[in-house]
């Protein structure tokens, strides 16, 4: 199978998503290897996805969280009907705060994540070998095209990666991020 | 009646999304912020992608959260809460845009034919751009400007998929478009951004950016 530049450009998004069949991927790999233009398109597109996907690109205005919380609290206060309801809520909040501290203290169950926006995975095989880098936030399959800092990689079991606060890569580990 | 904390076995069980939703539905509205906190940035970003104005986006984000609280009983457990929340946000932001008629003419390609192939314009060598460059505010600003210069239909898809990491299916559902349209628009959005951020481009889009000709912002 032989592909030309136009086909590579048309499929470059799917290629990076891992959403092309093996024969096409192989043909694209061969073409890209020998084509500077397509390498430029591939690398540029990969950079776009990586840079915009970083949580620093989703900044919120200063005070956004506080204002949101205040608005929600105001809304809830207006809907509270009696003093008993308030007492129940306060008691719940105290219990919640205590339990939250407890949850934080059980480091193995809830390690601090390296990314504020990341989601914990579910169903990740604990012994599966994954790849992490010291400056990264996610763990990857070794073949993932979205691994940054490739010179400082470590291969460790998924369980260990999660204990260190790494979360599944949103591209190559997306099956573990489903509800 | 609110579920007793002691009836759940572990702290982890008490704070799963499912448990929080159940308890909020049972009347513990105070827990709502805990439920939406992981998504507050996503909600804001989704609103900003449509409205392109920080104040309007924050307002829409707040309204979306209140609507989600009000209609939490309508949430179907077979869906992801984050997708449902983003869907509410997209609708709220679109309504706000229509109400206030603040929508400016989209500068790029909003009416382009999606069927035609997009041809990249710049073939300069790229290497891996270190994520540390995002520490520089001017870089983040340039990237944001480029993203906001995309036509609306491309920007919406790009933000939900590549910035907020929704799946293709979730993005399609949130925007009310087909799976195929998401993929087509995503490809175009990525290639257009790549072209906008590539050095030395003399096309119509680069004129909207203040990058020095021949240099990248990093």
At A76, the pLDDT band (50, 70, 90 cuts) reads confident
The answer to whether B18 and B50 have CB atoms below 8 angstroms apart is no
Phi, psi of A138, deg, nearest 5: -120, 155
Q: Kindly state whether B22 is in contact with chain A, defined as any CB-CB distance less than 8 angstroms.
A: no
Q: Kindly state whether A87 is in contact with chain B, defined as any CB-CB distance less than 8 angstroms.
A: no
The CA angle A157-A139-B44, to the nearest 5 degrees, is: 145
| CATH code of the domain made up of B10-100 | 1.10.1740.10
CATH 1.10.10.10 correct for B106-218:
yes
Q: State the pLDDT at residue A112.
A: 72
Q: How far is CA B26 from the centre of its chain?
A: 30
Supply the DSSP string of A108-140, one letter for each residue. TTSPPPS-SS----SS--TT-EEEEETT-SEEB
Q: Kindly state whether A81 is in contact with chain B, defined as any CB-CB distance less than 8 angstroms.
A: no
Cα A162 to Cα A125: distance, rounded to the nearest angstrom: 11
Contact at CB, B126 and A47, closer than 8 angstroms? yes
Cβ contacts (< 8 Å) between A39 and chain B: which residues?
125-126
Supply the DSSP string of B148-168, one letter for each residue. HTS-HHHHHHHIIIIIS---H
A168: tokens are 């599944």
Assessment of whether the complete model's pTM goes beyond 0.90: no
Report ipTM (2 d.p.): 0.74
Cβ contacts (< 8 Å) between A55 and chain B: which residues?
41
Point out the residues of chain B with pLDDT beneath 70.
1-15, 101-116, 122-128, 199-218
- Per-residue pLDDT at A136 exceeds 90: no
Element (H, E) at B131: none
The answer to whether B109 and B151 have CB atoms below 8 angstroms apart is yes
Q: Kindly state whether A47 is in contact with chain B, defined as any CB-CB distance less than 8 angstroms.
A: yes
Closest to A64 (Cβ–Cβ): which among B44, B144, B191? Answer: B44
Q: State the pLDDT at residue A7.
A: 92
In chain A, % helix, strand, coil (3-state, to 5) comes to 55, 10, 35
Cα A161 to Cα A167: distance, rounded to the nearest angstrom: 8
Q: A32-61, pLDDT tens digit by residue?
A: 999 988 998 998 899 899 889 888 888 889
Contact at CB, B119 and A60, closer than 8 angstroms? no
Q: Which of B13, B66, B27 is nearest to A92 (CA)?
A: B27
Alpha helices in chain B (DSSP H): 11-14, 17-25, 32-36, 40-51, 54-70, 81-100, 137-148, 152-158, 168-175, 179-197
Cβ contacts (< 8 Å) between B69 and chain A: which residues?
72, 75
Closest to A41 (Cβ–Cβ): which among B120, B163, B165? Answer: B120
Q: State the pLDDT at residue A178.
A: 59
Q: State the pLDDT at residue B126.
A: 66
- Per-residue pLDDT at A64 exceeds 90: yes
Q: State the pLDDT at residue A86.
A: 56
> Quick check: helix, strand or coil at residue A153?
strand
| Mean pLDDT, residues A96-112 taken together | 51
Per domain, the residue ranges of chain A are: 5-53, 64-105, 129-176
Q: What is the torsional sign of CA B111, B115, B121, B127?
A: positive
Q: State the pLDDT at residue B207.
A: 38
CA dihedral B86, B88, B94, B95 (to 10 degrees): -160
| Mean pLDDT, residues A130-158 taken together | 83
Per domain, the residue ranges of chain B are: 10-100, 106-218
Q: State the pLDDT at residue B67.
A: 94
Contact at CB, B29 and A102, closer than 8 angstroms? no
Cβ contacts (< 8 Å) between B194 and chain A: which residues?
41, 44-45, 47-48
């Amino acid at each position: 199978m032989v592909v030309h530049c136009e086909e590579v450009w048309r499929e470059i998004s799917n290629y990076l998503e891992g959403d092309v069949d093996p024969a096409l991927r192989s043909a694209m790999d061969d073409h890209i290897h020998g084509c500077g233009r397509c390498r430029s398109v591939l690398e540029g597109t990969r950079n776009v996805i990586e840079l915009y996907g970083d949580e620093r690109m989703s900044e919120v205005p200063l005070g956004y969280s506080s204002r949101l919380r205040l608005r929600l609290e105001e809304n809830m206060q207006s809907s509270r009907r009696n003093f008993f309801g308030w007492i129940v809520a306060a008691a719940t909040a105290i219990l919640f705060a205590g339990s939250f501290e407890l949850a934080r203290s059980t480091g193995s169950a809830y390690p601090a994540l390296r990314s504020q926006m990341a989601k914990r995975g579910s169903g990740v095989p604990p012994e599966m070998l994954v790849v992490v880098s010291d400056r990264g936030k996610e763990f990857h399959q070794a073949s993932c095209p979205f691994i940054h800092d490739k010179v400082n990689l470590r291969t460790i079991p998924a369980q260990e990666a999660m204990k260190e606060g790494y979360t599944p890569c949103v591209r190559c580990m997306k099956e573990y991020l489903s509800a | 009646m609110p579920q007793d904390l002691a009836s759940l076995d572990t702290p982890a069980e008490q704070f799963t999304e499912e448990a929080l939703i159940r308890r909020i539905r049972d009347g513990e509205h105070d827990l709502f912020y805990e439920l939406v906190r992981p998504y507050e940035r996503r909600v804001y970003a989704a609103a900003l992608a449509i409205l392109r104005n920080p104040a309007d986006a924050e307002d829409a984000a707040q309204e979306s959260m209140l609507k989600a609280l009000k209609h939490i009983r309508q949430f179907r457990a077979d869906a992801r809460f984050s997708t449902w929340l983003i869907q509410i946000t997209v609708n709220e932001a679109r309504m706000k845009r229509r109400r206030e008629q603040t929508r400016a003419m989209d500068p790029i390609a909003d009416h382009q034919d999606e069927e035609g192939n997009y041809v990249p314009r710049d073939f300069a060598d790229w290497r891996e751009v270190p994520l540390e460059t995002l520490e520089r505010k001017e870089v983040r600003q340039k990237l944001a400007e480029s993203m906001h210069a995309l036509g609306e239909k491309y920007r919406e898809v790009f933000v939900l998929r590549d910035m907020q990491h929704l799946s293709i299916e979730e993005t399609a559902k949130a925007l009310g478009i087909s799976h195929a349209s998401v993929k087509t628009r995503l490809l175009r959005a990525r290639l257009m951004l790549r072209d906008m951020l590539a050095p030395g481009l003399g096309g119509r889009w680069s004129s909207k950016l203040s990058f020095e000709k021949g240099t990248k912002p990093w």
